[in-house]
Amino acid sequence: MSEYKPICSHCGQVHFSDTEFDTQKEANDFAKLKCKCPEAQDWQEDTKRQKERTKRLAAAEESIDNLYEFCKNRGKTLPEEMKPHMLECAALVYDDKINQAVLQFSKFKIAIKINQKGIIAFACSFTDTVKMEQ
């Protein structure tokens, strides 16, 4: 038996386990993951959501890199300093704070939104049109 007993920090219920825990916190985290009390279940949901968000944003970062590569292969260089802003917009879109973001700078236009598969999608277009207005 481990010297640390898993105790749910929400309801105080003790959960038994054969696992050896190194710290009381580790034991309590185990209890929180197992407990069926409403507070622990909320916490479990929250943790799951956070994990999913981290995963999605990591995927978005990868998509941004691909986008840079895509543009580079076509002789267009996206400014490096736009990357953090694109990721920031991706987070806002994922958190449903905004429906979509459209970033326009020099001759680039980047649209960021959640596609039908629920994935953060980036669409880039650029124009070389020379326009003169008088």
Q: Tally DSSP H helices, then E strands, for the chain.
A: 3, 3
| Residues ≥6 apart with Cβ < 8 Å to 103 | 82, 85, 86, 89, 109, 110, 112
Residues 118, 53 contacting (CB under 8 angstroms): no
Least CB distance to Zn ion at residue 51 (A): 20
Least CB distance to Zn ion at residue 40 (A): 4
What's the one-letter identity of residue 75? G
What's the one-letter identity of residue 119? I
Least CB distance to Zn ion at residue 30 (A): 12
Least CB distance to Zn ion at residue 35 (A): 3
Nearer to Zn ion, 22 or 42 (CB): 42
Question: Taking CA 122 as the corner, what is the angle to CA 96 and CA 101, rounded to the nearest 5 degrees?
Answer: 45
Nearer to Zn ion, 35 or 67 (CB): 35
Nearer to Zn ion, 11 or 57 (CB): 11
**Phi-psi sector, 52: left (phi>0), alpha (psi -120 to 50), beta:** alpha
Contacting positions for Zn ion (CB under 5 A): 8, 10-11, 13, 35, 37, 40
Nearer to Zn ion, 37 or 71 (CB): 37
Nearer to Zn ion, 30 or 68 (CB): 30
Least CB distance to Zn ion at residue 17 (A): 14
